[in-house]
């Protein structure tokens, strides 16, 4: 008995879907633009709904919108007749997804939206479907060939729907001028949030910053190092950074130390500076390469000048505390 070639089957299914997905280009039309304008101008929430596998796609679309700062949630159509319709307000926009457009469970939520003047964006593959008839903006999906052996299981159709709305989300992000800075606000946790952190998100500033005047003694420097607990102190002259001295510098020079020794004798004269907009993982990489524990962050006005003023310090322990490795 010949063995079933599952890889061949999988590749065939993938080829069918890839071929069918090209049809999405047909539906980037005036309705697509209208949907973007309605969503971006919405004063309330973007509410997604759908039944069965279309419902799962709708839930994902809602999650994507929320992740880029567009308030959104998914509501199950069957639950609207049991009180959940109260979550939908007139200022909201309702997006309903159904490949056939005639799913019975959608009747209640569509009647409610039409009755109270709630804007509806409908997405279906049948022009004369109940869903599109009840929609203000009608997204007509092309007919596609499903990738399963029976040609009936939602595969290409659900993937196409997801692709369409992912493209819509990307277009919305461009209209909103969405950036990495905004993205990390909504993704503070997880690897994405960690990798998007910048130096300015984790740097040490203000009263926690260890600084000392160049005319002070090494004994004064040790006191500041112990007080601020960062293992270093930045040496200043008239507000400008002249060097840095670490607890390691103090230990290595112990045989020459006197309480009245000036700091200038022991400080490192070329501390490393980085921009506050540098990605935190890059800062960690620099520290690792140079075998140091901290980097100085200059003020914006002195960033590109030879003489720099200190704005902050980014410390290795601070980076590691945020889970960046």
Compute the 3-state secondary structure of the chain and give helix, strand, coil in percent, each to the nearest 5: 50, 20, 35
Q: Let me know: does 315 contact 283? Beta carbons within 8 Å.
A: no
Structure confidence at residue 255 (pLDDT): 63
User: Which residues are 96's β-sheet partners?
Assistant: 49, 122
Tally Cβ neighbours within 10 Å of residue 28. Answer: 13
Structure confidence at residue 78 (pLDDT): 79
Per-residue pLDDT of the chain in tens (325 residues, 90 and over written 9): 457 899 999 999 999 999 999 999 999 999 999 999 999 999 999 999 999 999 999 999 999 998 888 889 999 987 766 556 767 889 999 999 999 999 889 999 999 999 999 999 999 999 999 999 999 999 999 999 999 999 999 999 999 999 999 999 999 988 887 655 555 545 555 555 556 688 898 899 998 999 999 988 888 888 898 898 888 899 999 999 999 988 877 776 666 666 567 777 778 888 899 999 888 888 889 989 988 889 999 998 998 898 999 999 998 888 887 777 6
CATH class of the structural domain 6-178: alpha beta
Contacts of the segment 247-251: beta carbons below 8 A, 24+ positions apart = 247/222, 250/218, 250/221, 250/222, 250/225
Count Cα neighbours of 16 within 13 Å in the Cβ-side half-sphere. 16
Please give the Cα distance from 294 to 288 (Å, whole number). 10
Structure confidence at residue 181 (pLDDT): 58
Sign of CA dihedral 194, 195, 200, 203: positive
Please give the Cα distance from 301 to 286 (Å, whole number). 23
Same CATH topology for 6-178 and 199-321: the answer is no
Structure confidence at residue 191 (pLDDT): 55
Q: Let me know: does 312 contact 203? Beta carbons within 8 Å.
A: yes
Domain spans, the chain: 6-178, 199-321
Fold of 199-321: CBS-domain (3.10.580)
What sections of the chain are H helices per DSSP? 6-21, 30-40, 52-67, 107-115, 130-133, 156-175, 180-186, 190-196, 199-202, 218-228, 247-252, 280-290, 316-321
Question: How far from each other are the two terminal CA atoms of the chain, in whole angstroms?
Answer: 52
Nearest partner of 318 among 186, 223, 229, 193, judged by Cα = 229
Please give the Cα distance from 89 to 73 (Å, whole number). 13
303 SS3 class: coil
């Amino acid at each position: 008995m010949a063995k079933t070639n599952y890889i061949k089957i999988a590749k065939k299914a993938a080829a069918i879907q890839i071929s069918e997905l090209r049809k999405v280009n047909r539906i980037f039309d005036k309705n697509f633009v209208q949907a973007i304008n309605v969503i971006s101008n919405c004063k309330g929430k973007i509410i997604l709904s759908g039944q069965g596998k279309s419902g799962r796609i709708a839930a994902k679309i809602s999650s994507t919108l929320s992740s880029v700062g567009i308030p959104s949630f998914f509501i199950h159509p069957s639950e609207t007749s049991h009180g959940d319709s109260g979550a939908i307000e007139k200022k909201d926009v309702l997006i309903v997804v159904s490949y056939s457009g005639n799913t019975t469970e959608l009747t209640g939520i569509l009647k409610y939206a039409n009755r109270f003047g709630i804007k509806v964006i409908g997405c279906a593959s049948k022009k004369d479907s109940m869903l599109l008839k009840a929609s203000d903006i009608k997204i007509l999906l092309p007919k596609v060939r499903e990738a399963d052996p029976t040609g009936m299981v939602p595969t290409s159709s659900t993937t196409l729907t997801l692709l369409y709305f992912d493209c819509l989300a990307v277009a919305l992000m461009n209209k909103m001028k969405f950036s990495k800075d905004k993205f990390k606000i909504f993704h503070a946790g997880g690897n994405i949030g960690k990798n998007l952190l910048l130096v300015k998100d984790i740097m040490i500033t203000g009263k926690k910053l260890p600084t000392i005047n160049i005319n002070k003694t090494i004994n004064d420097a040790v006191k500041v190092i112990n007080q601020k607990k960062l293992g270093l102190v930045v040496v200043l002259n008239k507000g400008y950074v002249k060097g840095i001295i670490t607890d390691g510098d103090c230990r290595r020079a112990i045989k020459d130390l006197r309480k009245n020794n000036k700091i200038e004798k022991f400080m490192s004269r070329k501390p490393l500076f980085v921009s506050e907009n540098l990605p935190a993982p890059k800062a960690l990489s620099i520290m690792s390469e140079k075998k140091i524990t901290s980097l100085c962050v200059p003020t914006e006005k002195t960033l590109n000048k030879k003489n720099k003023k200190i704005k902050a310090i980014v410390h290795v322990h601070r980076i590691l505390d945020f889970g960046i490795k």
